[in-house]
């Protein structure tokens, strides 16, 4: 038998080799979203590991949202990265114990920054969308409708910031609210009942965005969260 290929201090686990390899190919631009990865057997031979190990690595990448697998076809680089990530996030959050106040505080922090950035980065289309969601929100008859348009309004504001890090973080946050703490959502909806104070906060907030008036927008935001904090 040949001598052990005693490489280095670091004995990388086989599946980690796969992960690092794919990461590298993506980061160097060699692999782009939508591209197909080499076959499992090919990677196994190329990296000098077994197919089972390749599969372990690919499963992890898939779970991280980096790749997707298609039975009979192959593995592909994902087009959208943030969906499965929120699953990981939410599990961790759940295990660490959700702190509702902290979640709201963090959400406020993100929206505040978004308001600031939106002043210079919001497109006309986004401004229009925000206004439309406000209209729909004010006209909404059911609590569910109010919830939907409220969320959409805030999400559009976040997107108008143009900052991907901020957008990703906010998406993960709302996902946690949406899928993992129905109680939380219920309380929000409960507090969403037609209410002058809340409606006024939204109007002020949107007016600030439309007119490029930062302090007005922030005032609306503050009033909004002031109200939210009452219901938690």
Residues whose CB is less than 8 angstroms from the CB of residue 213 and which lie 6 or more positions away in sequence, other chains included: 207
Question: Got the DSSP string for 10-28?
Answer: ----HHHHHHHHHHHHHHT
| Per-residue x/- track, 164-203, its own copies (CB under 8 A) | xxx-xx---x-----xx-----------------------
**Euclidean distance between CA atoms 165 and 126, whole angstroms:** 18
Pattern 63-82, binding to its own copies, x per CB under 8 A? xxxx--------------xx
In angstroms, the CA 90 to CA 200 distance is: 32
Q: Which stretch binds DNA (CB under 7 A): 71-79, 130-138, 177-185, 187-195?
A: 71-79
Contact range with its own copies by CB under 8 A, out of 21-29, 123-131, 210-218, 221-229: 21-29
- Kindly state whether residue 94 participates in binding its own copies, applying the rule CB under 8 A: yes
Helix axes 100-121, 143-160, angle to 10 degrees: 50
Tokens matching residue 148: 């939907």
147 binds its own copies (CB under 8 A): no
Q: Among its own copies, DNA, none, what binds residue 49 when CB lies within 5 to 8 Å by partner kind?
A: DNA
- Stretch near DNA under the rule CB under 7 A, chosen from 10-18, 24-32, 87-95, 127-135: 10-18
d(C-alpha 48, C-alpha 43), whole Å: 8
CB of 11 to DNA, least distance (A): 7
């Amino acid at each position: 038998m040949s001598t052990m290929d005693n490489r280095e201090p670091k004995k990388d686990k086989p599946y980690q080799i796969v992960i690092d390899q794919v990461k590298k190919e993506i980061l160097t631009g060699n692999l782009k979203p939508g591209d197909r990865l080499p076959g499992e057997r090919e990677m196994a031979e190329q990296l000098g590991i077994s197919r089972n190990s390749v599969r372990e690595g690919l499963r992890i990448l898939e779970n991280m949202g980096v790749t997707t697998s298609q039975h009979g076809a192959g593995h592909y680089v994902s087009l959208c990265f943030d969906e499965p990530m929120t699953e990981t996030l939410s599990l961790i959050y759940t295990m660490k114990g959700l702190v509702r106040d902290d979640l709201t505080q963090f959400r406020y922090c993100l929206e505040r920054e978004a308001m600031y950035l939106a002043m210079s980065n919001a497109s006309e289309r986004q401004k229009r969308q925000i206004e439309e969601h406000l209209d729909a929100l004010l006209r909404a008859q059911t609590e569910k409708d109010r919830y939907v348009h409220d969320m959409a309004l805030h999400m559009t504001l976040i997107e108008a910031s143009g900052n991907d890090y901020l957008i990703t973080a906010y998406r993960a946050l709302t996902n946690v609210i949406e899928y993992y703490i129905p109680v939380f959502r219920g309380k929000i909806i409960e507090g969403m009942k037609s209410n002058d104070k809340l409606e006024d906060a939204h109007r002020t907030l949107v007016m600030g965005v439309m007119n490029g008036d930062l302090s007005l927008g922030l005032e609306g935001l503050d009033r909004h969260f002031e109200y939210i904090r009452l219901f938690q």
